[in-house]
Structure 1
């Protein structure tokens, strides 16, 4: 049970959440308040270094991405620094994740979306109907005398 709390608090702190919010979230989720507070007190010195390292890492990633905007960039593995304390038991670490790079490919789409096919077909049908109605209106004006004479008499 404590391993889950430790892992959850570490994950939340790595994402930049404040310790108070994390503790309250675990208590609201039904975890024992004493256990959550105990783990939070153990991790609070480590939380400062975790949050500082995550801020430094995100700043470094942003600076690295700026010069690569004009080039096609290859994903670079992220280097994460982990802080461990001597009195905490070893927990299962989350696998490192590569930084998310925005996709900038010259090909927008290889296959058209099925909705686009439907909308294209609908536009063509509506254009044909509009064309036929305009032709009917023009013919009505041209032959209005003969149409009136047929109905009058």
Structure 2
């Protein structure tokens, strides 16, 4: 009986450790994406992106209507590459909620966005990632943007 309990404890511990390691790798992919975002390094950003993928943003229009804007990750990369040197974009992630099932992961990251040192807006990013033979890659990104209800 003691051996069975020891085996079960080892099995559970190994499973939890493996899950934690995968969560760490997903977080590292997102952190790498934002490191490139902040530095204006599109090569670094692309290192954790799987080709082109859709990006979407939800927000309220000036008339108060809900809007869903859809672009391509190419447009985001182009915006980063063409950002003028005097612009400082600082997206501060406030946390990570990562869920993984096999080779698919979702990361929910609340954030604040600061432009040239001034608060601009807040919201949540939702990243979808795919484990591409041991490397977590971003395959989809949607975010919310609002000025009210921020921390």
**Structure-2-length-normalised TM-score:** 0.27
In terms of fraction of residues, the more strand-rich structure is 2
Larger helix share, 1 or 2: 1
Q: Which has the larger radius of gyration?
A: 1
TM-score by length of structure 1 reads: 0.26
